[in-house]
Amino acid sequence: MLLHFTKMHGLGNDFMVVDMVSQSLRLPPEKIRRLADRRFGVGFDQLLLVEAPTNPDMDFRYRIFNADGSEVEQCGNGARCFARFVRDKKLIGRDRIRVQTAGGNIELNIQSNGEVSVDMGMPRLDPEQVPFNAQQRSVTYPLKVEGQVIEVSAISMGNPHCVYRVDDVHQAPVETWGPIIEAHPDFPRKCNAGFMQVVSTDEINLRVFERGVGETLACGTGACAAVVAGRLQGLLDETVKVNLPGGSLFIYWPGEGSPVMMTGAATRVYEGYTRL
């Protein structure tokens, strides 16, 4: 069977996007892993599926699978690509799109310049909502990593994030500490490990070791989580430029009780077919 797909990326975080509204097929984890292989398959960080919603108030259902075949709750860069995909494919005629995800409902807005703004919803800060093993909520928590106790933030943006502040992201131990933090027992569903450098009150540098993927060129939910962590620590303004290896995002969060807004680019690379 031939599978029609679109290759897209958001600041280098790359995706295989599949229309499951007009196509019908089953993609078990072993097939996803094979498609994700960058030598023998299409190659991607995540597979994005566009499905009909189960909630009548939503326009689409958005499902995300990591390269290891595991399904995850949310992906901000993928959400922007999702919006451009359904609009370019004429699956919807509006620039405002309501989407159902495993991490909650989100709203996508395509701007006149082609960039996409995403209402990522309100961050979840209580430890049990992340989830994170702690007795009570705090701005930061101690976490033991390779014999050292570091202070981190634990935040859910529909998926779990650990944010660790560093002096210089280029010198941060992403390759060594990233997989340790990702699988840390205090995060029972694992987590995305973010390493944040505060440049100024309106700018940060960020690297993210993503759960089930490894370090990626960009992570939208990681950018949101980092800004929330910085805001709660009194380090950042409401609007922050987040510099990732693949490019920059703009995150707006006025504070608790408000959703996080993310704006950035979404790029189509090519259309293709692959035989399953």
Asked if residue 103 has pLDDT above 90, the reply is no
Instruction: Return the CATH fold of 127-258.
Output: Diaminopimelate Epimerase; Chain A, domain 1 (3.10.310)
What per-residue confidence (pLDDT) applies to 77?
A: 94
Task: Write down the pLDDT at residue 235.
Answer: 98
Residues 2-121+265-275: name the CATH superfamily: Diaminopimelate Epimerase; Chain A, domain 1 (3.10.310.10)
Instruction: Name the binding residues for substrate.
Output: 13, 46, 66, 76-77, 159, 192, 210-211, 220-221
User: Can you tell me the distance from the alpha carbon of 55 to that of 69, in angstroms, rounded to the nearest whole number?
Assistant: 25
Distances (CA, A) of 60 to 20, 38, 63, 108, 135: 10, 29, 10, 11, 37
pLDDT at 160 over 90: yes
Relative orientation angle of helices 220-232 and 76-88, to the nearest 10 degrees: 140
pLDDT at 101 over 90: yes
Q: Out of 104-118, 175-189, 220-234, pick the least confident.
A: 104-118
Active site residues: 75, 219
Rounded to whole angstroms, the Cα distance separating 205 from 243 reads: 5
pLDDT of 24 higher than 90: no
Mean pLDDT for the chain? 96
Binding residues: 13, 46, 66, 76-77, 159, 192, 210-211, 220-221
